[in-house]
Amino acid sequence: MDFELENFSASQKQALFDLLILAMYADGHLTSFEDQKLQQVLAAMGFTDEIDRHREFDAAVTRIRPSIQSIHKAKELALGLAEVFTGRKQQKQVYAAVEQLMTSDNNVSTWESTLLMELRMKFRL
């Protein structure tokens, strides 16, 4: 997940991070690789202090937690978050980041497949 975030607004950065948190929780299996990548994204977003990264991570988990109760809610949230990415380059970057996180454990769940398909259709990729 190495890409430039300086062309992302604050709301787009937050939406990206929320999508990544949703991606991490979609299969119910949290890995150290996923956590490491999310910490790198937070650092790229400007949260260099560990306390700030933990606060932002916890805030994102709190925001997405209600949506991981059902695939329908997760899909609605993902598509709502995807709305803020209007440029093709950003859409491709966001999709690639979500896909990389979801496939990092070499086991793509039904939820993950569904969310990836929805994002691919939303971004017309």
Residue 2's pLDDT is: 60
For residue 109, how many other CB atoms are within 10 A of its CB?
14
Residue 30's pLDDT is: 76
Residue 3's pLDDT is: 62
pLDDT per residue over 42-73, tens digit each?
999 999 999 999 999 999 999 999 998 888 99
Measured at the CA of 99, the angle between CA 94 and CA 104, to 5 degrees, comes to: 130
- The radius of gyration computed from the CA coordinates of the chain, to the nearest angstrom, equals 13
Q: Which residue has the tokens 């937050």?
A: 14
pTM confidence score? 0.91
pLDDT at 1 over 60: no
Residue 42's pLDDT is: 94
Instruction: Please give the residue that has the higher pLDDT: either 109 or 97.
Output: 97
The CA distances from residue 67 to 59, 70, 110, in Å, are: 14, 7, 16
> Per-residue DSSP letters for 87-125?
SHHHHHHHHHHHHHHHHTTS---HHHHHHHHHHHHHHT-
Domain ranges of the chain: 10-123
pLDDT at 84 over 90: yes
Instruction: Please give the residue that has the higher pLDDT: either 30 or 120.
Output: 120
| DSSP 8-state code for residue 66 | G
Percent of the chain with pLDDT over 70: 98
Residue 6's pLDDT is: 83
Mean of pLDDT values over 2-21: 89
